[in-house]
Amino acid sequence: MKLSQFKALTFDCYGTLIDWEAGLAAALQVWAKRHGLARTDDALISEYGHVEHAVETEHPGMIYSQLLGEVLRRMAKAAGKPCSEEEARAFGDSIKDWPAFPDSREALAYLKRHYKLVILSNVDRASFAHSNARLGDVFDAVVTAQDVGSYKPDPRNFDAVIAAVAKLGVAKAEILHTAQSLFHDIEPGKRHGLATCWINRRAGKAGKGATPNPMGGKPTPDWEFPTLAAMAAAHKAGG
């Protein structure tokens, strides 16, 4: 297979295009330091990832910005620390401040010349609008958890994005699902019969970060790159 054989790239956003771990850590540290909780960034985002998946499973229809507030409440309770409604709301609103990876915007602009670009994200529409602006507003379609009523890795989210891409005139076999999370994207994408490209943003880092481990063992993506820039360079080189 070659990258050039595909006609659409379906993207996870947070962790792949937007540096959600940096954004999460910054927002969580504001709360933690306010209440005298000494935790490393890695410890906070690891705990966040564990709690987030539980809340998404229990409340698949909850808006993501509200879901973040519930995650913080549960983290606070587990740590024996307070979490006010204002703090929960501020954490949910922090999505607008999460930075893009330095290579994302330029790489997307290049890839836009060769593919339809579609977002499949565990987010809500209003929150994604801020990230979309950071990334250059290049997407041909956007599918969010709010639209579907469930969170990845639920198969309904992948059904929804395949249907959205079909409306753009692109068949399932012509989609390359491109993402950082093995748990949320690569593993379920492969189960859906999609070709997959792993943007391994955590290459060389210890731990699993903010994402749970894959349920079926480490899946094997069709491609792996450390950055989106490296993927764009491989396409440019004819890979």
Given strand 175-179, what is the order of strands in its sheet?
141-144, 116-121, 8-11, 175-179, 195-199, 223-225
Query: Is residue 12 annotated as part of the catalytic site, yes or no?
Result: yes
Active site residues: 12
